[in-house]
Chains A and B, each alone.
Chain A
Amino acid sequence: MNDERFRQIVRRALTPVVGEVGEGPSWDEIVDNSTAPARPPGPRIAVAAAAVVIAVIGITALVSGGGSTDTVTDPGPGDRTPTTETTLGPDSTEPATVLPECTPGPPMEGIELRTEDLIRYYNAGAAAQMISVIGDGPVSDPSLEPDQDVVYPSVTSWLEAAQRLEDRITSDGSGAGEPFHLFVTRRNASLEADGIESLSLRFRIWANQNCQVRVETTDEASSPDACLYSRLYEPDEIPAGCTGPYVPRSGHVAVWTGEEVLIVGGGSGTYPGPIQPPIALRPDGEIRQLAEPPVSPGRYPAMTAFWTGEQLLIVTGLPDYQGMVVLAYAPATDTWTESDPGPDGQLLGGATWTGNEILLVGGVINAANDEAWSFNPSTGEWARLPDPGIPLVEAMEGVWTGDEAVFYGGGSAGDESPAVAWNPATHTWRTLAPAGRGHIQDHHLAWTGEHVIVYSGHTGPAHPDRLLLYDPAAGAWTESAPIPITPVEHLGGGWTGQELIIWGGSPTYGDRQTINQGARYNPTTDTWTIMADSPLSPRCDHTLTWTDEIAIVFGGIEICGTSNVVAMGDAAAYDVADDEWRTLDP
């Protein structure tokens, strides 16, 4: 559905409802007449005039203190507080409040909105100081007491409510100008009762000492638990990820142990969401929680995981770019160990497991590098290998063939991504023939027993429509038959022993859309089989793990590369023999 087609659909759909109400008054008429509510309305300005009449009635009631006018909901952008004494109506549950008189003054002149002071005043409940900075008036703050539809009639009452809830905010940063933006983290008893440890919010404060102040938390805020946040604050837009049976995550790693899939790392999708806790998933959908690792993996895209037969090994980056580390998890004892820090220039490097050691090639922190390292989990030692003789490169990928480790791809100088192989027995590198595909990144490698298959990835903005196959015996590259589904990057893939399965991913380099198609490739016959339709929605950054009989797709996110969409909390199993899917549920 292209843009123009979508426009046609929207026009066709909305014309019946929009057309019925006509054009209404012009903006100039509305603006002009908003200052003269007593003017007799002409036919074309009836709507605006009627609204003004209602406004006058409302404001009159507000000023006179009669009725329940003060129990208004969200006041809309900017609200004016009456300059005379006002009390709440008899139906209100709020105590009667006397609004202070306002001193009209020029907007914002001479006012220095200092984040530190505002937070200090807020946390101390120092209403006078707060008002001296931002003025006074109704405060709309839906996040303080969710679902209460409360508008606090003054800064004082707002701070009193905050004090009752023991609300505390800390600064995450600040902005300047009008409206004033204050990025804060909020904690209070009400949130705790809802199961939210803290909220990351953006306050917008309009203030001008002219009896006009509005403090609101914006809907662009996120929470460590984005699903809880949505249920409380955006009940009309609960993200799809929140409807799944598992904790949403994307960008995680997953390995099959022979009994269960160990799933580690990954984020909730929204920033600054947490790194999700590790779990073990059985093919029937049951899960168990694992011990927390000593270092939170998943902060960096270079996280790679291997199953040794006894333990899970994860190569990842230390916080603050302090280099690489290997985390080892033993399911038998539910314990983690952390290696000494390794090379500090290997983030985004290619990694593979030989059966005895992890090999790392290339990578980047501030610049690409051309180094190669090994890590032996038995001894816990890192060792620098001879230089592979490649240009500076980032985002290589590696795979173990049984005799040597093949590394290919990544961004580098020259016309082609480098391709090299390391032989541990001879302790030597050999340079492979050029693949002829230019520079490929975000790709994956699989070993079939005869060929290295290169799948996923992109060459600049393009996505190759054929797999690359490298035959180490012949030293030659070939291409597969055309991929029968949309070529993508950030997909999930796994080798079954006979076929390569690919599913999901993003077909667009720029706007990060996703698909939920999949296909199986048989390198022996060079044929493809399109998989049955999946019950899972489109996604990327999920995992597809082969478990000897079925492939399990877990998590992911519906829009690639974004930080404000909740990740997926669902999973499904694909049975190759029957070409059937079933959703997983704990």
Chain B
Amino acid sequence: MRFAASLMGSDDADDVVSEAVVRTLRRGPLASLDNPRAYLMQAVLNTARDRGRRLIRERAAVARRASMREAVPVVSIESPELTETVMRLPVRQRAAIFLVYFEDMTPSDAANVLGVRPATLRRYLLLARRKLRGWLDE
């Protein structure tokens, strides 16, 4: 649930986890999996990404009609908008920083959970850090 909340926000976390569990249970009992935690977290990520894609498409259509791109305001670390700013990161980058910087996983373990190569995870972290540096007043 914490992972899902980091990806989609607390309001949608319940739905995302439920959908992910449904998807995963279609495969069979979790106990039959070698690494059920990683399996379920990948399902949560996939579900979040699916929902994110739909949202992005809808937002992109609106933006195209308005012929403008939404600018990300620069915020301070102490600002209450910090959470909103971090949640603007693409979902996989959010997943990566949550696992490494919130759950204190090693990059290697986080890569395993997300089903990507360690180099790819490092790229997510690097891009997230770079993007946040531009958004934060620090």
**Closest-CB distance, B9 to chain A (whole angstroms):** 5
- The answer to whether A35 and B29 have CB atoms under 8 Å apart is yes
B97 in complex: contacting residue of A10, A12, A558, CB < 8 Å: A10
- The answer to whether A76 and B47 have CB atoms under 8 Å apart is yes
- The answer to whether B31 and A31 have CB atoms under 8 Å apart is yes
B123 in complex: contacting residue of A7, A48, A149, A564, CB < 8 Å: A564
B62 at interface by CB-CB < 8 Å: no
- The answer to whether B43 and A20 have CB atoms under 8 Å apart is no
A288 at interface by CB-CB < 8 Å: no
- The answer to whether A16 and B83 have CB atoms under 8 Å apart is yes
**Closest-CB distance, B132 to chain A (whole angstroms):** 7
- The answer to whether A54 and B2 have CB atoms under 8 Å apart is no
What are the interface flags for A511-533 relative to B under an 8 Å C-beta threshold, 1 for contact and 0 otherwise? Answer: 10100000000000000000000
- Say whether, besides A18-B2, A34-B30, A236-B53, A9 and B18 are in contact (CB < 8 Å): no
What are the interface flags for A34-70 relative to B under an 8 Å C-beta threshold, 1 for contact and 0 otherwise? Answer: 1100000000000110111011001100000000000
Tell me the nearest residue of chain B to A10, going by C-beta.
B101
A14 in complex: contacting residue of B36, B102, B126, B129, CB < 8 Å: B102
Tell me the nearest residue of chain A to B136, going by C-beta.
A9
Tell me the nearest residue of chain B to A51, going by C-beta.
B21
**Closest-CB distance, B121 to chain A (whole angstroms):** 11
Interface centre among A23, A24, A27 (most CB of B within 10 A): A24
Q: Which residues of B contact A237 (CB under 8 A)?
A: 90, 92-93
Q: How far is the CA of A34 from the CA of B25 in the complex (A)?
A: 7
Q: How far is the CA of A13 from the CA of B98 in the complex (A)?
A: 10
A78 at interface by CB-CB < 8 Å: yes
Chain B stretch 86-128: residues in CB contact (< 8 A) with chain A: 86-87, 90-93, 97-98, 101-102, 115-117, 119-120, 123, 126
Q: Which residues of A contact B126 (CB under 8 A)?
A: 511, 513, 559
Tell me the nearest residue of chain B to A233, going by C-beta.
B53
Q: How far is the CA of A11 from the CA of B102 in the complex (A)?
A: 6
B2 in complex: contacting residue of A13, A23, A27, CB < 8 Å: A23
Chain B stretch 4-50: residues in CB contact (< 8 A) with chain A: 4-6, 9-10, 13-14, 17-18, 20-31, 36-37, 39-40, 42-43, 46-47, 49-50
Q: How far is the CA of A558 from the CA of B130 in the complex (A)?
A: 10
Q: How far is the CA of A580 from the CA of B24 in the complex (A)?
A: 56
- The answer to whether B21 and A236 have CB atoms under 8 Å apart is no
B116 in complex: contacting residue of A1, A9, A52, A220, CB < 8 Å: A220
Q: How far is the CA of A219 from the CA of B91 in the complex (A)?
A: 13
Chain A stretch 200-258: residues in CB contact (< 8 A) with chain B: 212, 219-220, 235-237
A21 in complex: contacting residue of B5, B27, B90, CB < 8 Å: B5
Tell me the nearest residue of chain A to B138, going by C-beta.
A1
**Closest-CB distance, A537 to chain B (whole angstroms):** 9
Q: How far is the CA of A220 from the CA of B130 in the complex (A)?
A: 20
Q: Which residues of A contact B20 (CB under 8 A)?
A: 76
**Closest-CB distance, B10 to chain A (whole angstroms):** 4
A389 at interface by CB-CB < 8 Å: no
- The answer to whether B22 and A30 have CB atoms under 8 Å apart is no
- The answer to whether B26 and A34 have CB atoms under 8 Å apart is no
A17 at interface by CB-CB < 8 Å: yes
**Closest-CB distance, A83 to chain B (whole angstroms):** 12
Q: Which residues of B contact A1 (CB under 8 A)?
A: 129, 132-133, 136, 138
- The answer to whether B22 and A10 have CB atoms under 8 Å apart is no
Q: How far is the CA of A59 from the CA of B27 in the complex (A)?
A: 11
Q: How far is the CA of A23 from the CA of B4 in the complex (A)?
A: 12
B9 in complex: contacting residue of A11, A17, A34, A79, CB < 8 Å: A17
**Closest-CB distance, A143 to chain B (whole angstroms):** 14
A7 in complex: contacting residue of B6, B57, B101, CB < 8 Å: B101
**Closest-CB distance, A104 to chain B (whole angstroms):** 11
A73 at interface by CB-CB < 8 Å: yes
Q: How far is the CA of A79 from the CA of B46 in the complex (A)?
A: 13
- The answer to whether B101 and A21 have CB atoms under 8 Å apart is no
Q: Which residues of B contact A236 (CB under 8 A)?
A: 49, 52-53, 56, 90-91
**Closest-CB distance, A576 to chain B (whole angstroms):** 27
Q: How far is the CA of A212 from the CA of B28 in the complex (A)?
A: 10
- Say whether, besides A17-B87, A54-B18, A78-B39, A6 and B5 are in contact (CB < 8 Å): no
Q: How far is the CA of A11 from the CA of B77 in the complex (A)?
A: 11
Would you list 27 pairs from A and B whose C-beta atoms are within 8 A, ordered by A residue? A6-B97, A10-B101, A13-B86, A14-B6, A16-B83, A17-B5, A21-B2, A21-B10, A24-B2, A30-B36, A31-B29, A34-B31, A52-B21, A55-B26, A58-B26, A75-B26, A76-B27, A76-B42, A76-B46, A77-B42, A78-B39, A80-B27, A149-B50, A220-B117, A236-B53, A237-B93, A565-B123
B residues neighboring A (CB under 8 Å): 1-2, 4-6, 9-10, 13-14, 17-18, 20-31, 36-37, 39-40, 42-43, 46-47, 49-50, 52-53, 56-57, 60, 77, 82-83, 85-87, 90-93, 97-98, 101-102, 115-117, 119-120, 123, 126, 129-130, 132-133, 136, 138
Known: A47-B18, A237-B90. 11 other contacts (CB 8 A): A9-B132, A14-B6, A14-B98, A20-B10, A78-B27, A212-B28, A236-B49, A236-B53, A237-B93, A538-B130, A565-B123
